[in-house]
Structure 1
Amino acid sequence: MSLILFAFVVRVRDGLPLSASTDFEHNRELQERKKQLRTISKALAGLPDKGIIEGRTLNTFFISSEGVSYMTVCHCSLPIAKAFCFLEDLRWEFTACFKSTVVALAARPYPFLEFDSTIQKLKQQYNQRGGPALEVTLAEVQEDLRLHPPQIINLDEVELTNGIANGHVEQGLGSGQNQRLEPVTALGILSLVLNIMCASLNVIRGVHLMEYTFQDDYDGIWNVVAFLLAFLCCVFQCHLYLFYSSQKKVKSFALLSLIVLCNLFLLGLRNAWQLVFHVSVASLATFLILTRKLQDRNGDCGV
């Protein structure tokens, strides 16, 4: 099985594709990663020189040096050090073939497509032999990674930053209209139904308790507040799952914390099983909110 599936060379300042490997894989996730490379390449100027974008079974690695970025999509079983060792070898081969002035003057996409043969040869060396011929090279890369670990890149943040830089997301920051999330899953529909059920239970209990509280000495007013606050949190969780929102991680954890605190406060009015049910539904909703990603753009890398 090939561990290094795709390699891509781009110019950092504008994301211009310089060269890419020819791949014969028809892996769906690989095609997704190739589409994401375009988004990443447009944002390289604002990213660190070394980074990783983690996927389900495929990871993307990149290094940038002297105005050129070298990117690769690899199987997750490939050690990180070997992936970066491959990129270092790719960088060395590219700089040996093309001067920086030639790269800077390139005006059309893929001006160095003939470099594909070199990439293919390097991929074959790593896929068949398991790595570089010189172990000292791998040792040097491992030491460099220890001293300067690569940054884990959040693709959602890259897409948002890239959109702001190109003037495409200002309206979407408030309304989320320009940001599309992945389709709602069956588990997501179940979570929405359960969340609506919890919200209904909270508002019914809150309104019912409110009638007795206003007839009494208002001793139970904080119980009413807890029920209604839990109701609002459930509604906002549904909204956060269905629609794009910036800083969703902070918002989702804040909502989960409020729901847990409200239910702990209502422990005298709810038994342990009811408490576990409400907290479990909120936890499931939080997990789905955090794992629902932005939908891939229609454009791809053109390779």
Structure 2
Amino acid sequence: MSVILFAFVVRVRDGLPLSASTDFEHNRELQQRKQQIKTISKALARFPDRGTIKGQELNIYFVSSEGVSYMTVCHCSLPVAKAFCFLEDLRWEFTACFKSTVVALAARPYPFLEFDSIIQKLKQQYNHSGGPALEVTLAEVQEELRIHPPQVINLDEVELTNGTANGHMEQGPGSGQNQRLEPVTAPGILSLILNIMCASLNVIRGVHLMEYTFQDDYESIWNVVAFLLAFACCVFQCHLYLFHSSVKKLKCFTLLSVIVLCNLHLLGLRNAWQLLFHVSVASLSTVLILTRKVQDRTSDCGV
């Protein structure tokens, strides 16, 4: 059984992936740990040079040195000292292959994928022989860990700090362009068309009623507000369906509630079928917004 399952090399200052091991295992927990590694890599600058994240069966270990962090996912049966010994060997090999200036100037993700061949050799050595070739290296790492034990990091705190939940990145202001939702479906296109139709009907009726309201005694001002507010909610529903947003569920139900209340207020200006149409379109949009998830991106560059 393999005890070292995945290795990842990343630049500390910005979390740029430099290299990673290619693997063909479809272990569910492994995929979760790989996604969590990529989340943690965005916050490495705030962490000490050595850390551990405990899992159910798989643990994450990392070592940072000279602006580069070396991370791995290992089975919990692997001794901690051997995991960090593997990372030290990985660090030694990487620094021997790539100069710090080249690493600092890297601009695209995974510029050193050829390093995977060396990662695979190290993994095979540890998985088959049970550890490094030199016992003195393991003894040195054990002594270092005894004097300076790695910090145990709470993954929940990392995810909260980075605005993540359940392995998906939750976007902050100005970063929504980095998220990709699942492809738009045929029902989604239909809901967009119907929402645009409802928005158009609301704004036309609102503007038309506004002309008469300003000419008379302003008694219908609240009807104008209801039409225009329903128009704004329809437009915002389209936005929520097309783009990722935080607290999406709260926004969805708030918009649906406002649309229902506006149409109830307009009961005298619309018949029952018209009210049912507007509420049904809003309800359909709400369901489709809530069911359109963030696209899974665990297979970055095939690693």
In structure 1, the residue matched to 2:44 is 44
Aligned residue for 1:115, secondary structure, equals helix
Q: 1:24 to 1:298 in 2, by over 3 A?
A: closer
State TM-score, norm by structure 1: 0.56
Q: Distance in 2 between matches of 1:87 and 1:21?
A: 13
Deviations 1:243-265 (A, max 9, x none): 9xxxxxxxxxxxxxxxxxxxxxx
In structure 1, the residue matched to 2:140 is 140
In structure 2, the residue matched to 1:13 is 13
Q: Distance in 2 between matches of 1:12 and 1:301?
A: 21
1:147-162 correspondence runs (5 A) = 147-162=147-162
Q: Distance in 2 between matches of 1:112 and 1:43?
A: 21
Matched, 1:107 2:107: yes
Cα offset, 1:24, TM superposition: 1.7
1:8-157 correspondence runs (5 A) = 8-157=8-157
Cα offset, 1:48, TM superposition: 1.2
In structure 1, the residue matched to 2:298 is 300
Matched to 2:91, the amino acid is: R
Would you say the 8 A contact 1:38–1:301 is kept in 2? Answer: no
Deviations 1:62-85 (A, max 9, x none): 000000000000000000000000
CA RMSD of aligned residues (A): 2.2
Would you say the 8 A contact 1:126–1:132 is kept in 2? Answer: yes
Runs ≥4 residues deviating over 6 A: none
Q: Distance in 2 between matches of 1:115 and 1:56?
A: 29
Cα offset, 1:162, TM superposition: 2.1
Cα offset, 1:8, TM superposition: 0.3
Q: 1:15 to 1:51 in 2, by over 3 A?
A: same
Deviations 1:217-252 (A, max 9, x none): xxxxxxxxxxxxxxxxxxxxxxxxxx9xxxxxxxxx
Would you say the 8 A contact 1:9–1:69 is kept in 2? Answer: yes
Q: Distance in 1 between matches of 2:170 and 2:80?
A: 35
Aligned residue for 1:74, secondary structure, equals strand
Q: 1:30 to 1:66 in 2, by over 3 A?
A: same
Deviations 1:8-50 (A, max 9, x none): 0000001100000011211110001011111100010111111
In structure 2, the residue matched to 1:258 is none
Would you say the 8 A contact 1:35–1:301 is kept in 2? Answer: no
Deviations 1:198-230 (A, max 9, x none): xxxxxxxxxxxxxxxxxxxxxxxxxxxxxxxxx
Cα offset, 1:160, TM superposition: 1.6
Q: Distance in 2 between matches of 1:50 and 1:299?
A: 27
Aligned residue for 2:77, secondary structure, equals coil
Q: Distance in 2 between matches of 1:118 and 1:73?
A: 17
Deviations 1:79-134 (A, max 9, x none): 00000000000000000000000000000000000000000000000000000010
Would you say the 8 A contact 1:51–1:153 is kept in 2? Answer: yes
Would you say the 8 A contact 1:37–1:301 is kept in 2? Answer: no
1:96-245 correspondence runs (5 A) = 96-163=96-163, 168=171
Q: Distance in 2 between matches of 1:58 and 1:21?
A: 16
Q: Any gaps of 5 or more consecutive residues in structure 1? A: 171-242, 244-295
In structure 2, the residue matched to 1:2 is 2
Would you say the 8 A contact 1:160–1:169 is kept in 2? Answer: no
Cα offset, 1:298, TM superposition: 4.1
Query: Which structure has the larger Rg over C-alpha atoms?
Result: 2
Aligned residue for 2:162, secondary structure, equals helix
Would you say the 8 A contact 1:52–1:152 is kept in 2? Answer: yes
Q: Distance in 1 between matches of 2:55 and 2:299?
A: 18
Q: Percent identity?
A: 80
Matched to 1:61, the amino acid is: Y
Q: Distance in 2 between matches of 1:139 and 1:297?
A: 45
Cα offset, 1:7, TM superposition: 0.3
